[in-house]
């Protein structure tokens, strides 16, 4: 069965430091992968997506993610974190067997990012 794992529930980084949020997936083929961000009390906003081609994907707000097939990973990175990046981040994978009880995307449980001044 397809699944998405975000191993880190909560990460704290200092402002200006680099960031890497981990995402691992279980999938039988090349997946469609997404990263979303959620500010407190808000909906989710799409940061970036990977379908095929270049394994390094650029997104909004200065984020990028790298698809590594050998590691079944799609980690999100940012070179220098700003205080406004404090939020919760969700990784998602597109489901091939759309029509079941999970819709078209499976979401990880999220990683909450705190930023120290």
Partner 1 sequence: DGGITQSPKYLFRKEGQNVTLSCEQNLNHDAMYWYRQDPGQGLRLIYYSQIVNDFQKGDIAEGYSVSREKKESFPLTVTSAQKNPTAFYLCASSRASGADQPQHFGDGTRLSIL
Q: What are the residues binding partner 1 (CB under 8 A)?
A: 9, 32, 34, 36, 41-46, 49, 51, 90, 94-96, 98-99, 101-105, 107-110
Which residues lie below 8 Å from residue 84, measured CB to CB, with a gap of 6+? none
Q: How far apart are CA 3 and CA 103, in angstroms?
A: 13
Coil, helix or strand at residue 8: coil
CB of 93 to partner 1, least distance (A): 8
- Nearest residue (CB) to partner 1, 50 versus 78: 50
- Nearest residue (CB) to partner 1, 9 versus 53: 9
| Burial (Cβ within 10 Å: 0-12, 13-18, ≥19) of residue 117 | exposed
- Nearest residue (CB) to partner 1, 36 versus 63: 36
CB of 1 to partner 1, least distance (A): 13
């Amino acid at each position: 069965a397809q699944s998405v794992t975000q191993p880190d529930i909560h990460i704290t980084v200092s402002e200006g430091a680099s960031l890497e949020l981990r995402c691992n997936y279980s999938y039988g083929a090349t997946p469609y992968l997404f990263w979303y961000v959620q500010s407190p009390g808000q909906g989710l906003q799409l940061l970036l997506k990977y379908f095929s081609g270049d394994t390094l994907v650029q997104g909004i707000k200065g984020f990028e993610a790298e698809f590594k097939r050998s590691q079944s990973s799609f980690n999100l990175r940012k070179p220098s974190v700003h205080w406004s990046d404090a939020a919760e981040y969700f990784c998602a994978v597109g489901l091939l067997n759309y029509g079941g009880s999970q819709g078209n995307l499976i979401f990880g449980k999220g990683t909450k990012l705190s930023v120290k001044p």
